[in-house]
Structure formats: C-alpha cells, structure tokens
Amino acid sequence: MDVLLADVYMIVAFTAMEVLLADVYRILAFTAMEVTWRDVNMMVAFTAMEVIWTNVCIILAFTAMEVTWRDVYMMVTFAIVEVTWRDGYMIIAVTAVVVTWIDVYIMLAFAAVEYQDIC
C-alpha cells in the first residue's frame, strides 16, 4: 500500500490501525491492497473519518469503494467514526460495516481520499 504525505511516509496496518504521522497537511492516496486469510472469519470495516486535533479540524471524505473478488462484486458503504489525535499519534477506531465474501482471496480497491479543511 502506498501512502503519500507532505513530508513523511505513513504505514497503515489495517489490523492494528495505528497511524504515525508528523504533519497536519497530507494526502492519503491508497492503492489496491490484497487481503488474504485462511480459516478465519473476518469483518472489514472502513469509515469516512473525522480527525480532530489541536487547532485543526479536517474531514477525510472517502468515496464509495468497490470491492472485487472472484465472481463477486460488492459496494462498501461508509459509517462515520470519530478519531482523536494526541502527540502525533492517531488511533483510528473502526466501526462495523460488514463485508461478506465467498472465497479466500479478496482485493480491496481503495478510492482516493479527499482532504478538506472545515475550520
């Protein structure tokens, strides 16, 4: 997964969802990411998330993303979750948007993130 930032790189682990970044202004551009698992039931939850921190309020607005895998197409809609920010560390809490699947391999195609200042 490739994430573009103003001055730093950010690695997003979708299991732990801990994001480390250094700057306020950034653009998240997600490329396709392959998620694999075996013999494990999994719920993938993605949100349009509101990020709040000192003196800055932004909304990361995610467009609808199309999840494609073997012989199945599905649209994932987004819920809203609040994300708190402190000391340069952002923990992204994930709410439930249930994703079902049939086969073991699933390809998640992420749309580009739109960044907006709202303050």
- Phi, psi values for residue 12, rounded to 5°: -105, 115
- pTM flag (> 0.85): no
The first and second tokens of residue 77, run together, are 């809609």
pLDDT tens, position by position, 61-96:
344 444 433 333 333 333 444 444 444 444 444 433
Cβ(108)–Cβ(65) under 8 Å? Answer: yes
pLDDT tens, position by position, 15-55:
333 333 333 233 333 333 333 333 222 333 333 334 333 33
